[in-house]
Amino acid sequence: MYTDYATDIELGREYLYEEPHERTSDIELQPGINALFLAVWAVISLVGFAVMFLVEQPVAGAIIIAVPTFIGMIIKPTFALCIMMLALPTGAGIGYREVFSLDRGIGIALAVSFLLNILITRPRLRIGNKALWAVAAYTIWVCLASLAGPYLGLELRRAFTQVQLLGLSLIIYWILETNSPATLIWALRAYVVGTLGTIALAYMTGAAITATQETTEGRYAATLGQAINANMLAALTGMAFLAAIYLFARDRNIFARLLYLCGILFLPVMLIRIGSRGNMVALAVTLLSPLLFVREVSRRPTLVLLLVVVIVLASVFAGLTVKSAGLEAGVAERLTSISYAKESIGYRVSLLKQAVGSIARRPLGTGYYSWFERTGLVNFPHSDFFLILGVYGIPGAILFVVFVIMMVRTIRRMPTGLEKLYARAVLTYLLVVGMNNANVFAKFYWVFLVMAMVSERISHLYSTPQDFYYAEGGEEYLPEEGQ
Q: Return the domain boundaries, the chain.
A: 19-27+76-467
Q: What is the mean pLDDT of residues 68-76?
A: 92
Instruction: Provide the pLDDT for residue 335.
Output: 58
**Cα-Cα-Cα-Cα dihedral sign, residues 10, 13, 17, 19:** positive
Q: Give pLDDT, residue 9.
A: 44
Q: What local confidence, expressed as pLDDT, does residue 256 receive? A: 87
The pLDDT-based confidence of 207 (bands split at 50, 70, 90) is low
- In the chain, the percentage of residues whose pLDDT exceeds 90 is 27
pLDDT in tens, 292-306: 665 666 666 676 677
Q: How far apart are CA 238 and CA 287, in angstroms?
A: 11
Q: Identify the band that residue 290 occupies on the pLDDT scale cut at 50, 70 and 90.
A: confident
pLDDT band at 114 (very low <50, low <70, confident <90, very high): very high
Q: Which of 143-157, 218-232, 416-430 has the lowest mean pLDDT?
A: 218-232
Question: Which pTM does this prediction carry?
Answer: 0.82
- Supply φ then ψ for residue 376, to 5 degrees: 75, 15
Per-residue pLDDT tens over the stretch 251-262? 888 888 888 988
pLDDT band, residue 15 (cuts 50/70/90): very low
The answer to whether residues 62 and 168 touch, using CB atoms and an 8 Å cutoff, is no
Q: 465 - beta bridge partners? A: none
Average pLDDT, the chain: 78
pLDDT at position 351: 79
pLDDT tens digit sequence for 213-235: 555 555 444 444 444 567 788 88
Is residue 63's pLDDT more than 50? Answer: yes
